[in-house]
């Protein structure tokens, strides 16, 4: 675009495009193409202002970008309509620290809040629509500093708190526009894995990823409740941890008995374990907590891979609902939240393995404590994407996990709490720094045998080469 004053009113003179747009244009920035290769340096947000977004650390910079919907060919062809590159330290610093952890606030509806860690500082950003011109721009609203290097950051499920991990484990509580420290603990080894429950008063789990350290401490997961903690021992190194996702609707429906906190841990012995607090009340009075394994899934056996190396498994995050067609050509958008729908409710685990394989497990009885029942885990489906590769224009190799991609997030939608997923999105960061986005619709998920015969356009799509 030419520089200078517009001369669009003069015959034969070049026309300035921005004079005919409703909003001002911000000078485009050069977007760094290569995210930092850390599990925590990339995050995906499925819905802010009606659009999906990604954020990642690229060397010392933070990149925030709109993520075009893979199910829309028009959006994929045009590409992101918004990108912003932020230098957390500013140009005045002589030395730069890599942005090694990025995390969107999971509260819903999302207000676009995001945190990014570099060095010993975490900066929190919020989108600002500016003045009447309506220009969108993320601006720093808070900075949290600790004495040691920050390895990873994690939000509470409600977004009321933020946990910083490293040698120091620090919990911060959000109070409107300010932040206050809730508790602090010191670990034996730098903690690079982090997961928190719903609120800042709940549990926080931390661990050390094998890529950061191979010492004996990596075999333990620490569960903090305030300044106290309990350690969960594993036979081999631990590669991943995640608390059971809970949303505001679950809490509203279970006022008398909130959902149980269930921790999923992934170990290099090939097993994913679920841990729950089992106590008769006497230990709590003494200020002690006790966690026990309540279910074990032999992931390596189901997916023929190596958990934590070329195979991953995680809780699916459930959001919203999908449009469903019933008898008489009637459609429903809202999920059925009647009392009967909560009978037999379950949650889902999704596993990604080598040779283009996916697995879905349903988990029942998570909240059955009177009488006490252990979770019932069932393999619902094991899928092979190769069955669909011949009919898809994209190469199936883009989703092969043999090169150890980083699984970012798995999101599902259902029409009933006891039913299977009607829509599943899986986001991964590939070794070549492209993004794999797998979208499975009801038409694909409900089929057996030759599962991926292209029933409808949005049943499967890979979007890559974002950078």
Res 84: pLDDT: 92
Strands (E), 227-299: 228-233, 238-243, 262-267, 271-277, 291-298
If you average pLDDT over residues 421-427, what whole number do you get? 85
Res 346: pLDDT: 86
If you average pLDDT over residues 166-189, what whole number do you get? 93
User: In this structure, how many other beta carbons lie within 10 angstroms of the beta carbon of residue 326?
Assistant: 9
Helices (H) and strands (E) in the chain, counts: 6, 30
Res 167: pLDDT: 93
pLDDT tier for residue 113 given thresholds of 50, 70 and 90: very high
Res 276: pLDDT: 93
Res 460: pLDDT: 33
pTM greater than the 0.85 cutoff: no
Whether 21 shows a pLDDT value over 60: the answer reads no
Percent of the chain residues topping a pLDDT of 90? 40
* Under 8 Å between Cβ of 351 and 303: yes
Res 169: pLDDT: 95
Token readout for 444 is: 């694909």
pLDDT tier for residue 451 given thresholds of 50, 70 and 90: very low
Whether 398 shows a pLDDT value over 50: the answer reads no
Res 62: pLDDT: 94
Whether 463 shows a pLDDT value over 50: the answer reads no
Token readout for 342 is: 């909560």
pLDDT tier for residue 28 given thresholds of 50, 70 and 90: low
The whole-angstrom separation of Cα 105 and Cα 119 is 20
Beta bridge partners of 86: 62
Residue-wise DSSP of 236-256: S-EEEEEEPP--HHHHHHTSS
If you average pLDDT over residues 224-244, what whole number do you get? 92
Res 3: pLDDT: 38
pLDDT tier for residue 133 given thresholds of 50, 70 and 90: low
Nearest 10 degrees: Cα torsion 445, 459, 407, 158:
-80
What H or E segment, with its residue span, contains residue 386? Answer: helix 386-389
C-alpha distances in angstroms, 453 versus 2, 389, 459?
50, 10, 9
User: In this structure, how many other beta carbons lie within 10 angstroms of the beta carbon of residue 216?
Assistant: 10
Whether 353 shows a pLDDT value over 70: the answer reads yes
Tell me the backbone φ, ψ of residue 466, rounded to 5 degrees. Answer: -60, -35
Res 95: pLDDT: 72
Beta bridge partners of 103: 115
* Residues 6 or more apart whose Cβ sits within 8 Å of residue 425: 46, 409, 410, 411, 412, 437, 438, 439, 440
Encode pLDDT of 179-228 as tens digits: 999 999 999 889 999 999 999 999 999 999 887 765 666 799 999 998 88
Q: What is the mean pLDDT of the chain?
A: 77
The whole-angstrom separation of Cα 352 and Cα 305 is 9
């Amino acid at each position: 675009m030419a520089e200078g004053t517009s001369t669009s009113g003069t015959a034969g003179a070049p026309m300035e495009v921005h004079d005919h747009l409703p909003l001002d244009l911000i000078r485009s920035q050069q977007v760094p193409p290569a995210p930092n290769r850390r599990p925590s340096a990339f995050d995906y947000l499925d819905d802010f202002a009606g659009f999906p977004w990604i954020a990642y650390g690229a060397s010392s910079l933070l990149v925030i970008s709109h993520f075009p919907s893979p199910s829309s060919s028009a959006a994929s062809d045009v590409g992101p309509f918004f990108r912003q590159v932020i230098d957390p330290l500013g140009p005045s610093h002589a030395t730069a620290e890599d942005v090694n952890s990025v995390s969107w606030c999971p509260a819903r509806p999302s207000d676009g809040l995001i945190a990014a860690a570099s060095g010993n500082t975490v900066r929190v950003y919020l989108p600002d629509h500016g003045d009447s011109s309506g220009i969108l721009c993320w601006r720093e609203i808070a900075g949290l500093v600790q004495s040691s290097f920050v390895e990873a950051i994690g939000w509470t499920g409600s977004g009321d708190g933020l946990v910083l991990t490293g040698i120091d484990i620090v919990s911060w509580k959000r109070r409107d526009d300010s932040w206050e420290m809730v508790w602090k603990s010191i670990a034996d080894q730098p903690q690079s894995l982090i997961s928190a429950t719903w609120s800042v008063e709940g549990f926080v789990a931390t661990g050390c990823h094998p890529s950061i350290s191979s010492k004996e401490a990596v075999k333990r997961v620490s569960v903090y409740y305030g300044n106290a903690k309990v350690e969960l021992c594993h036979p081999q190194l631990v590669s991943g941890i995640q608390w059971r996702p809970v949303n505001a609707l679950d809490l509203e429906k279970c006022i008398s008995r909130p959902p149980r906190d269930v921790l999923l841990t992934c170990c290099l012995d090939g097993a994913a374990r679920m841990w729950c607090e089992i106590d008769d009340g006497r230990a709590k009075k003494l200020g002690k907590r006790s966690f026990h394994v309540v279910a074990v899934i032999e992931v390596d056996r189901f997916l023929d891979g190596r958990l934590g190396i070329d195979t991953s498994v995680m809780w699916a995050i459930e959001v919203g609902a999908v449009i469903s067609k019933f008898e008489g050509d009637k459609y429903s958008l809202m999920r059925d939240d009647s009392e009967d729908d909560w009978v037999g409710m379950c949650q889902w685990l999704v596993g990604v393995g080598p040779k283009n394989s996916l697995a879905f497990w349903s988990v029942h009885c998570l909240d059955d404590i009177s009488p006490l029942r252990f979770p019932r885990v069932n393999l619902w489906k094991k899928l092979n994407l190769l069955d669909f590769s011949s009919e898809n224009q994209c190469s199936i190799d883009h989703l092969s996990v043999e090169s150890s991609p980083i699984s970012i997030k798995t999101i599902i939608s259902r029409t009933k709490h006891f039913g299977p997923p009607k829509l599943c999105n899986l986001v991964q960061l590939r070794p070549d720094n492209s993004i794999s986005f797998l979208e499975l619709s009801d038409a694909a998920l409900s089929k057996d045998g030759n599962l991926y015969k292209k029933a409808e356009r949005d049943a499967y799509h890979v979007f890559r080469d974002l950078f």
